[in-house]
């Protein structure tokens, strides 16, 4: 493979992610949550009752960092922590009505951002892009659970 293309790929993927993240943060800033808190919230709304340790693994951040994020989110009424019925040492995390309502609103904003980012691409080109990114993630994941983001992307409407 051409070395120039390989170097360009990393920059393109990084820049695309950075620009989409920035646009999202600008759009969602009115809710007062950081990008990390939004990522956590998205995971919770899609899979409630997740253990704190599992959230840390899904978000690829240290458990202590997740604990601090959850502390702030719990104080703000965004999440609720409950003991796991099968293991009282484990705390599971649930989205609140407040966070579900905000998620529904922000999901529409994210859809608008995706439409803007994908403007000019045909439905076929969009599918090819998504499938290519899934393959890239799968090739690099070494079985470490990156399939979660691929499954999420598979559910997104990219046409």
Is residue 74 within 8 A of residue 81, CB to CB? The reply is yes
What pLDDT, on the 0 to 100 scale, is given for residue 97? 94
Contacts (Cβ under 8 Å, ≥6 apart) of 117: 16, 19, 20, 23
What pLDDT, on the 0 to 100 scale, is given for residue 144? 57
Q: What is the mean pLDDT of residues 135-158?
A: 62
What pLDDT, on the 0 to 100 scale, is given for residue 33? 80
Burial degree of 124 (CB within 10 A; 0-12, 13-18, 19+): exposed
Burial degree of 106 (CB within 10 A; 0-12, 13-18, 19+): buried
Q: What is the mean pLDDT of residues 121-141?
A: 94
What phi and psi values does residue 51 have, to the nearest 5 degrees? -70, 150
Taking only the tens place, the pLDDT of each residue in 81-114 is 999 889 988 999 999 999 999 888 888 888 999 9
What pLDDT, on the 0 to 100 scale, is given for residue 142? 75
Taking only the tens place, the pLDDT of each residue in 50-86 is 999 999 998 889 999 999 999 999 999 999 999 988 9
All structural domains of the chain: 3-119 (1.10.10.10)
Q: Provide, rounded to the nearest whole percent, the portion of the chain with pLDDT above 70.
A: 85
* Position 153 confidence tier, pLDDT thresholds 50, 70, 90: very low
Is residue 45 within 8 A of residue 65, CB to CB? The reply is no
């Amino acid at each position: 493979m051409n070395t120039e293309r390989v170097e360009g790929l990393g920059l393109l993927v990084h820049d695309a992610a950075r620009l989409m993240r920035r646009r999202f943060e600008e759009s969602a800033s009115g809710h007062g949550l950081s990008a990390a808190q939004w990522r956590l919230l998205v995971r919770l709304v899609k899979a409630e009752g997740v253990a704190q340790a599992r959230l840390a693994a899904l978000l690829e951040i240290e458990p202590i960092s997740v604990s601090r994020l959850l502390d702030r989110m719990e104080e703000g009424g965004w999440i609720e922590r409950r003991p796991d019925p099968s293991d009282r040492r484990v705390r599971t995390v649930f989205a609140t009505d407040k966070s579900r309502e905000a998620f529904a609103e922000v999901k529409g904003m994210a859809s608008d951002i995706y439409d803007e980012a994908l403007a000019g691409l045909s439905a076929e080109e969009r599918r090819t892009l998504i499938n290519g990114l899934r393959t890239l993630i799968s090739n690099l994941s070494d079985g470490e659970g990156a399939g979660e983001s691929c499954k999420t992307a598979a559910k997104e409407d990219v046409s």
